[in-house]
Structure 1
């Protein structure tokens, strides 16, 4: 079967769209449909469900896609290595990023990335679940939290810097805390994930023993942005990494940083942000180029630390 049919099929599997695949390869949509129909006849299986709203993989199509994807990736890597020029960075790169980090920071960086590499196609998936990049076919994944022995290869972007904050309006009605234990008398807006409500950990420069606060208050959520918005309108105190805050939050005086002399966190040990890839994907020049660009754009220390 013609290699082009496999490439068309893989792109339809990725995008869920014949028209998007046709635009990507700059061919008529009828050509994409014809090649994939021929591929289905060749393998003797229906690979795609087609309806007016979406195109999805059948069970056989899912298995077939998993089997051919690595072969196509290896062919793409070989093509890139033969080209051997930075200006020839092209093709599809798949990114997986936690929802808030991706929306607030990674998505805005993609414009500059695609200006640098105009022949590059980026597929950005936002999810807070830890996926297996190998089985999901992801080239680059961002991990927030404690590093794990995942078999992935990459670099630390930064240590997470946590900020305790409340609105100026809230502080007009409540005394500012002078020490972590004072937070027990305040309305805490607490993130609650799969592990339950977060604890807040504080360390002073003179004593690295952690002070642990069982924060509580009028609102819990598994969505950090909901809690941060509640803090902005004066409902309580939040503790979040610096990358979640807007550049205007503190510059405008809307939010006030609390206990700045204390190092704060929501885990007993420091957490980081890493950018990681499966080992075989790092052989691809386009994957290395994207990872390098994102690390450079974020900077060291990360640009978002300047918010506070």
Structure 2
């Protein structure tokens, strides 16, 4: 027979189901693991159903637990969103969980988040760094930063910026090995290539409005760690093709210089967007929508990391930084 259950037990249940871990769920709610286990045991007793199967390294939902999770997760989200609308009408509050690729987060998202929290101290931030596109609904993520193709039609997306790419190398490399004059010259150079899960990424180029063409680019180093490739390029070991959000600070300092800049370069020509994606049920969330607006304003149009190009050409483009607290 169904008995009364408390809200803390339900929140804990959702977190255990999401993480597959009592200890991680307990830490998020500032509980001891033993206390978390007692809450879940009391919840199972109240429901008359086992919600989890326990293993030495993880816990899994039972069939009954899975059905309960799908209902309870949505109810908890609605309760949290209702709480956001209590108190000051325009001030967001509550926990905001964000997922982002590590390299982008380190360079751009971290200072933006600090500025956002200074403006909105009622928002608590959880930042999860991963290059894996996990299901934000299942993981309880409010906003995911995704770079490249969007494959989940259940999610809403806001375009933050269109990626531009730079083929670049250090001055010392070009002095030692010469500067490519046409894309075909890359076959004679050491090209440092990113190793994607599906294989080495291709470099594509076009001139003017022509179609993209794959360049012949290979070398003695491949890696799935872009920071390593970046350091190799800065150290004079080869040529790289990187998005400007990653390389612009080094281009601006002259540590890297553009190569074949008269061409437009890309890795995936049909997937150039940087998006913030979020579940449809976050549309009414004040903290989510406030963050999306803040993030878009901080990045700017064009994105602030590309504005050095206008300045270098003598343009009057104002410089914007993401840490403005305005």
Structure-2-length-normalised TM-score? 0.80
| Conserved 8 A contact 2:12-2:25 | no
SS where residue 127 of structure 2 aligns? strand
* C-alpha separation in 2, matches of 1:220 and 1:111: 34
Report what 2:84 is aligned to.
80
Stretch moving more, 166-175 or 191-200:
191-200
User: What is the CA-CA distance between 1:92 and the residue it aligns to?
Assistant: 1.6
Structure 2 gaps, min length 5: 310-326
1:152 aligns with 2:155: yes
* C-alpha separation in 1, matches of 2:288 and 2:65: 24
Report what 1:22 is aligned to.
30
Residue correspondence of structure 1 range 7-156 to structure 2 within 5 A: 7-10=11-14, 16=24, 18-22=26-30, 35-36=39-40, 38-43=42-47, 44-45=49-50, 57-60=59-62, 63=66, 65-83=69-87, 85-87=89-91, 89-148=92-151, 150-156=153-159
Q: How many residues align?
A: 298
1:199 aligns with 2:202: yes
Which one of 239, 244, 247 corresponds to residue 245 of structure 1? 247
Encode CA deviations 1:201-246: one digit per residue, 9 max, x unaligned: 11223x5233421200010112222111110111100001011126
* C-alpha separation in 2, matches of 1:290 and 1:124: 13
Q: CA RMSD in A?
A: 2.9
SS where residue 131 of structure 1 aligns? coil
Structure-1-length-normalised TM-score? 0.84
Which one of 172, 183, 193 corresponds to residue 175 of structure 2? 172
| Conserved 8 A contact 1:245-1:307 | no
Report what 2:290 is aligned to.
289
| Conserved 8 A contact 2:206-2:213 | yes
User: What is the CA-CA distance between 1:153 and the residue it aligns to?
Assistant: 1.3
* C-alpha separation in 2, matches of 1:290 and 1:183: 42
Which one of 179, 197, 218 corresponds to residue 220 of structure 2? 218
* C-alpha separation in 1, matches of 2:201 and 2:216: 8
In structure 2, relative to structure 1, the CA distance for the partners of 1:195 and 1:20 (3 Å cut) is closer
Q: Quick check: which one's strand share is greater?
A: 1
* C-alpha separation in 1, matches of 2:239 and 2:223: 14
* C-alpha separation in 2, matches of 1:307 and 1:31: 54
